[in-house]
Structure 1
Amino acid sequence: MKLKLLAFMAILAAWGCQPSTNQQDKPQSADAQPNILWIVADDLGVDIGCYGTKAVHTPHLDQLAREGVRYENLHTTTAVCSPSRSGLITGMYPVSIDCHQHRTPFKHALPDPVQPITRYFREAGYFVTNGSFKAENRKGKTDYNFTHHFDSLYDGTHWNQRKSGQPFFSQIQIFIPHRPFLKDTLNPVDPDNVQLPPYYVDHPVTRKDWAMYLETIQLVDIEVGKILKKLEEEGLAENTIVFFFGDQGRPHMRGKQFLYDPGTNTPLIVRHPSGTGANSVSQQLISNIDIAATSMALAGITIPPHMQGQDFLGEQPERAFLTTMRDRRDETVDRIRAVRTTDFKYIRNFYPERPYTQFNAYKKFRYPVLTLMQVLYKKGELNEVQSRFMAESRPAEELYDLKNDPDEINNLAGDANYEEQLAGLRQHMDEWLVTYDLGKYPENPRAIQAAEELMKGRFKRNMESLGLNPAISDEEFLQYWEKTLLEETDDVSHAN
Structure 2
Amino acid sequence: MKKIIVVLLLTLAITSCKAQKTTESKDSSQPNVLVFYVDDLRAELGCYGSETAITPNIDQLASDGVLFNKAYTQQAICAPSRMSTLTGLRPETLGIYSIFTPLRKVHKDVVSMPQLFNKNGYKTVSIGKVYHHSSDDKKEWSVYYGKEANTYNDPKNIAIIEQLKKEGKNPKGPAFDAADVSDEAYKDGRAAKYAIETLEKLKDDKFLMFVGLSKPHLPFNAPKKYWDLYDKSKFKIPSREKPEGIYRLSLTKWGELKGYHGIPKEGDLDDNLTRNLIHGYHASISYIDAQIGKVMQTLEDLDLRKNTMIVFMSDHGYKIGEYGAWCKHSNMEIDTRVPLIISRETNYRKRKAGKTSDALVENVDLFSTLVDICGFEAIPSDGKSLVPVIDNPKQKWDPIATSVYGRGKKIMGVTATDGKWRYTEWRDAKTHAILGAELFEHKDNLLSFVNLSGNKKYQEVEQRMKKLLETQFSRNDQPFLQNDQPRR
Partner of 2:366: 291
Deviation at 1:401, TM superposition (A): 1.6
Deviation at 1:53, TM superposition (A): 1.5
Cα shift readout 1:272-304 (whole Å, capped 9, x = no counterpart): 232822111111111100111112211112332
Deviation at 1:26, TM superposition (A): 7.8
Structure 1 counterpart of 2:280, from 212, 232, 238: 212
- 2:68 touches 2:358 (CA, 8 Å); kept in 1? yes
Distance (whole Å) between structure 2 residues aligned to residue 50 and residue 436 of structure 1: 42
Structure 1: which 5+ residue stretches go unaligned? 1-24, 133-139, 353-393, 445-496
1:94-493 to 2 correspondences below 5 Å: 94-104=91-101, 108-110=105-107, 114-132=110-128, 140-143=129-132, 148=136, 150-151=138-139, 153-157=140-144, 159-160=198-199, 165-186=204-225, 187-199=228-240, 203-250=271-318, 252=320, 253=325, 256-274=328-346, 276-304=351-379, 306-314=380-388, 318-328=397-407, 335-350=412-427, 396-403=436-443, 406-434=446-474, 440-441=480-481
Distance (whole Å) between structure 2 residues aligned to residue 418 and residue 27 of structure 1: 58
Deviation at 1:415, TM superposition (A): 1.0
Partner of 2:49: 52
- 1:79 touches 1:326 (CA, 8 Å); kept in 2? yes
Distance (whole Å) between structure 2 residues aligned to residue 185 and residue 174 of structure 1: 18
- 2:46 touches 2:55 (CA, 8 Å); kept in 1? yes
Would the alpha carbon gap of residues 255 and 347 (structure 1) be closer, same or farther in structure 2, given more than 3 Å must change?
A: farther
Q: Secondary structure at the match of 1:291?
A: helix
Partner of 1:79: 76
One-letter amino acid matched to 2:361: I
Deviation at 1:55, TM superposition (A): 1.9
Cα shift readout 1:322-351 (whole Å, capped 9, x = no counterpart): 11011258xx98532111112210012348
Would the alpha carbon gap of residues 327 and 61 (structure 1) be closer, same or farther in structure 2, given more than 3 Å must change?
A: same
Q: Secondary structure at the match of 1:248?
A: coil
Would the alpha carbon gap of residues 314 and 47 (structure 1) be closer, same or farther in structure 2, given more than 3 Å must change?
A: same
Q: Secondary structure at the match of 2:402?
A: strand
Q: Secondary structure at the match of 1:171?
A: strand
- 1:35 touches 1:167 (CA, 8 Å); kept in 2? yes
Cα shift readout 1:24-60 (whole Å, capped 9, x = no counterpart): x988543222101101111101111111112222111
Would the alpha carbon gap of residues 67 and 196 (structure 1) be closer, same or farther in structure 2, given more than 3 Å must change?
A: farther
One-letter amino acid matched to 2:382: Q
Distance (whole Å) between structure 2 residues aligned to residue 117 and residue 194 of structure 1: 40
Would the alpha carbon gap of residues 436 and 230 (structure 1) be closer, same or farther in structure 2, given more than 3 Å must change?
A: farther
One-letter amino acid matched to 2:125: T
Partner of 1:135: none
One-letter amino acid matched to 2:283: E
Cα shift readout 1:371-407 (whole Å, capped 9, x = no counterpart): xxxxxxxxxxxxxxxxxxxxxxx98111012116641
TM-score by length of 1: 0.67
Distance (whole Å) between structure 2 residues aligned to residue 119 and residue 160 of structure 1: 20
2:88 corresponds to 1:88: no
Partner of 2:10: none
Cα shift readout 1:118-172 (whole Å, capped 9, x = no counterpart): 222222221111113xxxxxxx432259x74522x11113654876732111101
Q: Secondary structure at the match of 2:42?
A: coil
Partner of 1:37: 34
Larger-gyration structure (1/2): 2
Distance (whole Å) between structure 2 residues aligned to residue 292 and residue 258 of structure 1: 24
Deviation at 1:184, TM superposition (A): 4.6
Q: Secondary structure at the match of 1:57?
A: coil
Distance (whole Å) between structure 2 residues aligned to residue 251 and residue 81 of structure 1: 15
Distance (whole Å) between structure 1 residues aligned to residue 465 and residue 352 of structure 2: 33
Distance (whole Å) between structure 1 residues aligned to residue 476 and residue 50 of structure 2: 36
Deviation at 1:208, TM superposition (A): 2.3
Q: How many residues align?
A: 367
Distance (whole Å) between structure 1 residues aligned to residue 117 and residue 482 of structure 2: 36
One-letter amino acid matched to 1:416: K
Would the alpha carbon gap of residues 123 and 318 (structure 1) be closer, same or farther in structure 2, given more than 3 Å must change?
A: same
Distance (whole Å) between structure 1 residues aligned to residue 483 and residue 88 of structure 2: 23
TM-score by length of 2: 0.68
Deviation at 1:103, TM superposition (A): 1.6
Distance (whole Å) between structure 2 residues aligned to residue 350 and residue 334 of structure 1: 6
Distance (whole Å) between structure 2 residues aligned to residue 399 and residue 102 of structure 1: 27
Between 1:238-247 and 1:201-210, the stretch displaced more is 201-210
Would the alpha carbon gap of residues 218 and 410 (structure 1) be closer, same or farther in structure 2, given more than 3 Å must change?
A: same
- 1:254 touches 1:262 (CA, 8 Å); kept in 2? no
Distance (whole Å) between structure 2 residues aligned to residue 317 and residue 54 of structure 1: 29
Task: Give aligned-pair identity as a percent.
Answer: 23
- 2:130 touches 2:210 (CA, 8 Å); kept in 1? no
Deviation at 1:247, TM superposition (A): 1.2
2:60 corresponds to 1:63: yes
Would the alpha carbon gap of residues 278 and 116 (structure 1) be closer, same or farther in structure 2, given more than 3 Å must change?
A: same
Partner of 1:389: none
Distance (whole Å) between structure 1 residues aligned to residue 118 and residue 483 of structure 2: 35
